[in-house]
Amino acid sequence: MKYINENEIFNIIKQAENYNEKEVIEILDKAKKLNRLSLKETAILLSVKEKELLNEIFNSAKYIKNKIYGKRVVLFAPLYISNYCVNHCVYCGFNCTNKETKRKALNIEEIKEQTLQLLKRGHMRILLVTGEGLDNNEKYINYLCDAIKAIYSVEFKGLKIKRININCAPLTKEHFQKLKDCGIGTYQLFQETYHEETYRKVHLKGPKSDADLRISALDKAFSVGIDDVGIGILFGLYDYKFEILAMLQHIEYLEKNYGVGPHTISVPRMEAAEGSDFASNPPCPPSDDDFRKIVAILRLAVPYTGLILSTRESAESRNELIDLGISQISAESCTSPGGYSDNDKSSAQFEISDKRSLDEIVDFLMTKDYTPSFCAACYRKGRTGDVFMHIAKPGNIKNKCEINSILTLKEYLMNFATKNTKEQGEIFIKKSLSEMDDETKEITLNLLKKIENGEKDIFV
């Protein structure tokens, strides 16, 4: 596979087994200074088995998360607009051989209706998701662009969706340009597995079966100026140690060539999917303990990159993983097109584990002293790509997040929260203000007043 040197990775994994405690502590000290880790250093952390050292890893991950992002956790919802797909990925319910799934591509009115449903719950950030291809490429890109414009056009209580990220099939340069012109936030594309033989075994039909075409899609995105890209591994397909090191090789490649790594990393674990026996019995499922390690080590290895966790994980697991470095979570998700107003979920991609409402998740985050955030200020202020990284790498982005997250929380409480969450939220905001330095507190108080007086969508 392009950019990936498998032999190097296997050698590094083998050598890392001879680690000693001193090395581990030194690596954690380096990470705590917010430096990205090398493949070798990351492999050593991945080899750690001793309980005490593992706890050191978890504590370091918490420290780094707080240092870079502060208390905020960004909330979003996926919006599935079409489950037609030309590929046969053996793990996915949308795969083209699955005759059980009801196929559906939402029309523009239906997309607006779904957006309204999400806005009514209080969602301000959407991840648009589709299967690959409708009839032909031209029609596919026009459909995506029309969908994006439709989503941005919907208004509820004077509020609109603030940012649309998108997870869709690789496009041509020309089509990426069209997507950029529509105002997308992050372009997400998961390589699923960086292990070539496994990749071939699980992608049987369609354009996605070409691993190099997929991995080089991000180059095309960068070439037209889409500089917030999201990457990910579908955990369960192959050995997680290999996958993480290979993903780091990919990141090194992006940094070398574009001066900036991925904006986000997603960590989906394979879930059961109707129409896929494979998904119920993945070959290399990481245990819950492995998964905690994966999240914490990713936070240490690439400290400045957002880590996204979806509702594929259970509520209990998500509650724990947020402490270890997750910075964005989806909430009240549905993976079937039309699912936000439709009770028929027979066209879903995979099963959801965390079924809590957005309001319950907002409330829960606050009880853990995290600030639920609906902010999209960076993207709207042009803080993307290396501009964002220059602020994030030394740990300065949290100064903005601290203010913006409180402002968006206030807006949520005023417009969408249940009585109990509203009460808890007001107490939480008071407490957060009391923890701010004088200057930040004054700016935040002034902006909060404007929101109370009816101004909408304020950010710094």
Is there binding between residue 271 and ligand SF4 (CB under 6 A)?
no
Choose the contact partner of 279 out of ligand SF4, ligand SAM, none; CB within 5 to 8 A by kind: ligand SAM
Distance CA 366, CA 400 (A): 19
Is there binding between residue 190 and ligand SAM (CB under 6 A)?
yes
* Pairing state between β 203-205 and 88-89: antiparallel
* CA dihedral sign of residues 100, 105, 110, 114: positive
* Pairing state between β 229-232 and 187-188: parallel
Distance CA 344, CA 219 (A): 38
| E-state strands within 261-378 | 264-266, 306-309, 328-330, 371-373
Residue showing tokens 């990775």: 9
Choose the contact partner of 234 out of ligand SF4, ligand SAM, none; CB within 5 to 8 A by kind: ligand SAM
Give 139's contacts (C-beta < 8 A, 6+ positions apart).
none
Choose the contact partner of 324 out of ligand SAM, ligand SF4, none; CB within 5 to 8 A by kind: none
Q: Look up residue 38 and give its two tokens.
A: 């090398």
Phi and psi based region of residue 140 (left: phi greater than 0; alpha: psi -120 to 50; beta: remaining) = alpha
Binding mask 123-142 for ligand SF4 (x = CB under 6 A): --------xx----------
Q: Which is nearer to ligand SAM, 263 or 312 (CB)?
A: 312
Distance CA 399, CA 401 (A): 6
Q: Which helix (H) or strand (E) holds 126?
A: strand 125-130
Q: Shortest gap between Cβ of 149 and ligand SAM (angstroms)? A: 20
User: Judged by CB under 6 A, which stretch of 2-10, 85-93, 224-232, 320-328 contacts ligand SF4?
Assistant: 85-93
User: Judged by CB under 6 A, which stretch of 120-128, 146-154, 167-175, 450-458 contacts ligand SAM?
Assistant: 167-175
Position among 42, 95, 198, 305 found at the interface with ligand SF4 (CB under 6 A) = 95
Name the residue among 419, 307, 326, 415 with its Cα closest to residue 365: 326
Q: Shortest gap between Cβ of 314 and ligand SF4 (angstroms)? A: 22
Q: Which is nearer to ligand SF4, 95 or 432 (CB)?
A: 95
Choose the contact partner of 268 out of ligand SF4, ligand SAM, none; CB within 5 to 8 A by kind: ligand SAM
Name the residue among 363, 440, 428 with its Cα closest to residue 401: 440
Choose the contact partner of 95 out of ligand SF4, ligand SAM, none; CB within 5 to 8 A by kind: ligand SF4
Q: Shortest gap between Cβ of 202 and ligand SF4 (angstroms)? A: 9
Binding mask 372-391 for ligand SAM (x = CB under 6 A): --------------------
Q: How many CA atoms lie within 13 A of 438 on its CB side?
A: 0
Distance CA 414, CA 279 (A): 41
Binding mask 371-390 for ligand SF4 (x = CB under 6 A): --------------------
Q: Which residues here bind ligand SAM, judged by CB under 6 A?
A: 91-92, 129, 131-132, 167-169, 189-190, 192, 234, 268, 270-271, 273, 279, 312, 349-350
Q: Which residues here bind ligand SF4, judged by CB under 6 A?
A: 85, 87, 89, 92, 94-95, 131-132, 208
